[in-house]
Amino acid sequence: MNEMLGSRIKELRNAKNFTQEQVAAQIGVSRQKYARIENGANSITFEILSRVADVLGVTVGDITKVLDKIPAAAYRAGEESGSSKKIFDMLDLFYANKHMYARLQYKDVI
């Protein structure tokens, strides 16, 4: 999952002709950390994901839509190596999204 998100972020960054350094500086992380996010070596929090989306001028949904392309049958059939880890990663992302959604609703009330 991290690899898919990282590849999508890299694709969007390249479409904007931004360097890793430029995006990293704007989201407030080191270039090395940003590079690990693009390579899928680091997990990405919803907060960082939303910052990246703002910098690239897209929505979080534009980035995460690549996750919709994973066939659910692959998880059930065990075709993906490390499928349990991917499921836990998806759950982590779900709870991060839920938390961010609650924060955004709270902002709208204020």
Contact between 15 and 70 under an 8 Å Cβ cutoff? The reply is no
For residues 53 and 62, give the distance between their C-alpha atoms in angstroms, rounded to a whole number: 8
Q: Residue 69 has what DSSP assignment?
A: G
Task: Give the DSSP H/E element, type plus range, for residue 83.
Answer: helix 83-109
**How many domains, the chain?**
1
For residues 83 and 60, give the distance between their C-alpha atoms in angstroms, rounded to a whole number: 24
Q: What's the residue count for the chain?
A: 110
CA angle 80, 65, 58 (to 5 degrees): 145
Q: Say if residue 75's pLDDT is above 50.
A: no
Looking at residues 10-33, what average pLDDT do you find? 94
Contact between 56 and 18 under an 8 Å Cβ cutoff? The reply is yes
Count the Cβ atoms, other than its own, within 10 Å of residue 64.
Answer: 19
pTM: 0.63
Contact between 81 and 70 under an 8 Å Cβ cutoff? The reply is no
Q: Say if residue 81's pLDDT is above 50.
A: yes
Looking at residues 41-62, what average pLDDT do you find? 89
- The boundaries of the domain holding residue 76 are 2-109
Write the CATH number for 14: 1.10.260.40
Structure tokens at 6: 């990282």
